[in-house]
Amino acid sequence: SPRFIALCPTSIPSSAGEGACIEEEQRSRSELRERFLRTLIKMSNKPVNFDMYEGVQVRAKFGASDIDVLNFQVSELQTPIGVQKEALLRCHDMISFSFDV
Amino acid sequence: AAGWRTITAPQERPGERRSAEMKRLYGENAARIQAMETAMQLNFDRNQDRIQPKYWPVIPLKL
Amino acid sequence: MHGWCERKPPEWSTYLSKLVKVTAHSNQQYEGWVFTVDPVSASMVLVTLPEGDRAHVRVVLGHAVESVEVLQEENKGNTLRLASLFLAHGAEALSP
């Protein structure tokens, strides 16, 4: 899949040294990814502030994310021109977002 | 007798390929990461079907 | 930072639990302790710990990261607090 090609380690291990290197990369990737997934789970149903491009700032309740981190489902989105009950935000439109735990 | 092979053998199961990819990326932790991702994506897909939210803003801010 | 998104997971891991200052698009700056860097999107999860049990979490999208500066090395107390914030089963679940 395209997702795999983008993430895939570039070299095939041909020696024990490179194999250990791949293993370290796998361990590192697992820990980082699990922590990120747990962050998204923690964010469920919480109010989140989004800083987006073009100086746009909005607030919404976080619902769910796809695993490729491309789209967020949110509800009660407070836009500059009113509230949209359900919405899909593009992660590429965002610079950062924040919430309290 | 060789006929059925040409029909069934080349069939690739997407789930199997994804598992192999996950194994390559995440090593011995692949099953756990894949389980978490699958649950998350399922939740997302279910909401998409049920709620069908519209993109905001309609046009991307960053092209 | 040039190539932040193209780095390898072990390089991102070197930032774990450190206090950093991230400069993002249009010179926005964020400070916090690094809880993780998502290997899929290169997004950084930064945590600040005001007094009490509360924590503030900021996620900077990988594509918006321009530079990362380490302000302080990790300290054990904060590392444990970060882990316990996100884990139902306590800190040990994150250790390999």
Residue C14 pLDDT: 97
The fold of A44-98 is SH3 type barrels. (2.30.30)
Contact (Cβ atoms closer than 8 angstroms) between residue C21 and residue C88: no
| C25-59 confidence digits (pLDDT tens) | 989 999 999 999 999 999 999 999 887 778 999 99
ipTM beyond 0.90?
no
The fold of C4-90 is SH3 type barrels. (2.30.30)
Residue C92 pLDDT: 45
Kindly report the nearest CA distance between residue C32 and chain A, in angstroms: 12
Q: Which two tokens stand for residue B46?
A: 């279910």
Strand C19-24: give its sheet, edge to edge.
Answer: B54-55, A82-90, A71-79, A57-65, A47-52, A94-100, C56-60, C44-48, C28-37, C19-24, C65-72
Which residues of chain C have a CB within 8 Å of the CB of A24?
Answer: 10
CB burial of residue B57 (10 Å; 0-12, 13-18, 19+): middle
Residues of C with CB under 8 A from a CB of A: 8-10, 12-13, 16, 24-26, 28, 30, 35-41, 43, 45, 54-61, 63-64, 85-87, 94, 96
* Candidates A35, A94, A96; nearest CB to C35: A35
Measured CA to CA in angstroms, residue C68 lies from B26, C30, C56 at distances of 26, 10, 19
Contact (Cβ atoms closer than 8 angstroms) between residue C59 and residue A38: no
Residue C77 pLDDT: 84
Kindly report the nearest CA distance between residue A80 and chain B, in angstroms: 11
| B21-63 confidence digits (pLDDT tens) | 999 999 999 999 999 999 999 999 999 999 999 999 999 998 7
| A37-81 confidence digits (pLDDT tens) | 999 999 999 999 999 999 999 999 999 999 999 999 999 999 988
If you measure CA to CA, which chain C residue comes closest to A9?
C8
Domain ranges, ordered by start, for chain C: 4-90
- A8 at interface of B, judged by CB pairs closer than 8 A: yes
Q: How confident is the model at residue A6 (pLDDT cuts 50, 70, 90)?
A: low
Three-state DSSP at C20 gives strand
